[in-house]
Chain A
Amino acid sequence: MGSRPLFRGITSIIYKESIHILRDPRTLFLMILVPGVQLTIFGYAINLDVKNIPTVIHDMDNRRESRELVDSFVNSGYFNIVAVADSDEELMRSIIRGEAKVGLKVPPDYSDRIVRGQDTQLQILIDGSDSTISMQALNVANAIALRKSIEVLTMRGATVAAPGLDNLPIDARPRVLFNPDMKTVNFMVPGLVGIVMQVVTMFLTAFAIVREKENGTLEQLMVTPVSRLGLMCGKLVPYGVIGTIETGIVLGLMTMLFRVPISGSLLLLAALCLLFLFTALGLGLLLSTLANNQIQAIQFAFVIMLPSVLLSGFIFPQESMPTPIWWIGQFIPVTYFIQILRGIIIRGAGFEDLWFQTLCLAGMGFALLTISTLRFRKRLG
């Protein structure tokens, strides 16, 4: 038997393979840079300890004592005053709109009662549509009220020897709105609807076009009188129809299987779902102009999918993300769609509360479609 080295030819294969890898800078970029960048970004984003909960204040007292109370909420680092309301309705609107997650209501006689040594009540409204935030807000608000009570008691000279907990000068009355049991399912499932819709629509569209590129049929089509817009929209419509059917199924499952009721307008929900489909199709189209084959399409899809899941507020509250990472989230269409879904489904928000998100989605959809149409033209021109 002649000797046959076990690893014969290994160096030549390594040499050849290295050339393949270096020749394709796009794949090299995806392999080396993207995982590092994503780990860094997502590492910061994955933070279940929520700080800076957007808070709306309705201070009917607005004197030294009440301002001190508000300050102690702000100084805790957990609450961030984003709005000052002048009425109960305004306070509620701000929460329904999703602008604030917590509303703090100080009664008009707060200072008087504290000074007179009487007990007073503090109302704290908490948006239950995000269970992580509402749990945190509930605990912290209670703790702050308790500390404030002890402060007041100490100031009064601690005449009361051992105050029972039911006998505190400041009685915090937290009320969880919309999702009073803080069911995670009510919070997660509407978001999941958005994610699922994006995945299916984006992948379907991207693959439909990349496949034609791979097979050479796209070039054949280009020699026919079919217009670019005709080709692209012809591709989009069937997948739009599939996406619409799928949306119906997903929403049906949500209400029937997971028992998440839709509190807002079904018509508005349907209309905005269609708007999001349009944006997701545009994203798929852009993907198809970037990728030359199906493997690349999958790679690019992952680059889009991970931030959609991690930075959109789907799992991790955006409130606690560092500013640069929060900004990345603002460029992801599904971020706005999840806000819309939670707004309509959980809080019963109307169009007047969601016009900003709607505008962002429409703008992104239009931009995506324009960019992909232009890129499409360039590639073949």
Chain B
Amino acid sequence: MSAVIQSTGLTRHFGSVEAVNDVDLTVEEGSIFGFLGPNGSGKSTVIRMLCGLLAPTAGAATVLGHDVASQGERVKESIGYMSQQFSLYSDLTVMQNLTFYARIYGIPRRERKDRIEDVIGIVGIGDYRKRMASQLSGGWKQRLALACALVHQPKLMFLDEPTAGIDPVARRELWNLIFKLSGRGVTFFVTTHYMDEAERCSHVGYIYFSKLIVCGTPNQLKALPEIVPENTTRLEVRCTRLPQAMQTLSDLACIRDVTIFADSLHVLADEGNEGVIDRALREGGFGEPMVNQIPPTLEDVFVTLTRKHARENGKSAVV
């Protein structure tokens, strides 16, 4: 496998503001790379640099073998890009939007029809050819946007928060499309806020305060020593009155961290303290507690790393 995106020391300043700081990134061919980070952490700036829209202040990046600073136009020809807001022409029909993008990417007239039908087939928008883009629902709009970005058969797709604001069914269908295309050899670079989407990616990177904090496969990240430090264990605790139980547990000396997760508590505790926890909860009247060991989630990974990073940089973690 070869790298389709490779950046070293990628940095961008806006005046005195450091938007992206020294980012080293490698995205392998065929992977689905999930790029995570809070708003304003530099995600969009990284994407804009990788797409050849913005020149780096320092460092360099190659995308599909082209240098983003000097060969921005070559990069643009070979990638597909789908932005977070719906950015197609709402007063054009589905077919007209597709034809427009096919022409702009210079697809010869002879091939145009086949290419358009091809992407229509992939995203399954065939029933809406003559429909105005403004009359499509959110999920269909995203499919159309994906089709437009695919029409020139890019090897690499950038999706900037593709599922923001669409319903759960459409969200799942869009991910199924991503997997389908990934199966055809398309590499994806996806930004998202959703942890469950991050879990679907083959690789994830987490950017925080303009710095790339971590990068790797989800399993690699979960196995990082700072996520489950030596002599500690991650536990799932089921009991009643979770908010109060959380308070009770965080007062215990052996508890490093505790958060509510759906109908249970996720606890990072010193090893061998299951009994202590069980007792404390019974005494506090939190029903019949159940304590189980669990692997960390990506959310655990990012929360832990963010706090650690903030501690080391003297900033308070905003999570």
Q: Which residues of A contact B73 (CB under 8 A)?
A: 225, 227
Nearest-neighbour CB distance to chain A for B114, whole angstroms, equals 20
Contact with A along B68-89 (1 / 0, CB 8 A): 0000010011010101011111
Q: Separation in Å of the A235 CB from the closest CB of chain B?
A: 13
Q: Scan residues 25-73 of chain B and give those whose CB is less than 8 A from a CB of chain A.
A: 51-55, 73
Let me know if B55 and A381 touch, CB within 8 A: yes
When C-beta atoms are compared, the residue in chain B nearest to A234 turns out to be B104
- Asked whether any CB of chain A lies closer than 8 Å to the CB of B165, the reply is no
With A225-B76, A225-B77 as given contacts, are A219 and B83 in contact (CB-CB < 8 Å)?
yes
Residue A215 CB within 8 A of the other chain = yes
Interface size range of chain A in the complex: 10 to 19
Contacts of B81 in A (CB 8 A): 220, 223
- Complex CA–CA separation, A217 to B81 (angstroms): 12
The residue that A380 contacts in the complex, of B53, B86, B104, with Cβ under 8 A, is: B53
**Assembly CA distance A226 to B89 (angstroms):** 16
Smallest CB-CB separation from A222: which chain B residue?
B53
The size of the chain B interface, using a CB distance under 8 A, is 21
Q: Which residue of A lies closest to B78 (CB)?
A: A225
Q: How far is the CA of A220 from the CA of B77 in the complex (A)?
A: 13
- Whether A224 is near chain B, meaning CB under 8 Å from some CB there, is yes
A221 to B53, CA, bound (A): 11
Q: Are A220 and B88 in contact (CB under 8 A)?
A: yes
Q: Are A223 and B51 in contact (CB under 8 A)?
A: yes
A216 to B164, CA, bound (A): 15
Determine which of A220, A225, A226, A381 lies in contact with B87 in the assembled complex, contact meaning CB atoms within 8 Å.
A220
Q: Which residues of B, 211-267, contact A by the 8 Å Cβ criterion?
A: none
Q: A219-252: which residues lie under 8 A (CB-CB) from chain B? A: 219-227
- Kindly list chain A residues whose C-beta atoms are within 8 Å of the C-beta of B54: 381
Cβ distance A232 to chain B, nearest Cβ, rounded Å: 14
Q: How far is the CA of A223 from the CA of B88 in the complex (A)?
A: 13
B140 on the A face (CB < 8 A) = no
Q: If A223-B51, A223-B76, A380-B53 touch, does A217 touch B104 (CB 8 Å cutoff)?
A: no
> A224-B105, A225-B73, A225-B76 are contacts. A215–B53 as well, Cβ < 8 Å?
no
Contact between B79 and A223, CB atoms less than 8 A apart = yes
**Which listed residue (B52, B53, B79, B88) contacts A217, Cβ 8 A?**
B88
Would you give the shortest CB distance from A226 to chain B, in whole angstroms? 5
**Residue from A216, A223, A225, A226 in contact with B53 in the complex, judged by beta carbons closer than 8 Å:** A223
B285 at the interface (CB under 8 A from A): no
Q: In the complex the two chains form, is A226's CB within 8 Å of B55's CB?
A: no
Q: Mark B120-147, 1 if CB is under 8 A from A, else 0.
A: 0000000000000000000000000000
Q: How far is the CA of A217 from the CA of B79 in the complex (A)?
A: 17
Which residues of chain B in 281-305 are interfacial with respect to chain A, using CB atoms and an 8 Å cutoff? none
Verify A217–B51 contact, CB threshold 8 A: no
Give B143 Cβ to nearest chain A Cβ, in Å. Answer: 15
Query: Chain A residue with minimal CB distance to B86?
Result: A216
**Contact partners of B76 in chain A: CB under 8 A:** 223-225
For the complex of A and B, list the 5 residue pairs with the smallest distance between their C-beta atoms, beginning with the closest.
Answer: A216-B87, A223-B81, A220-B87, A225-B77, A216-B85
Q: Which residues of A does B touch, CB under 8 Å?
A: 215-217, 219-227, 380-381
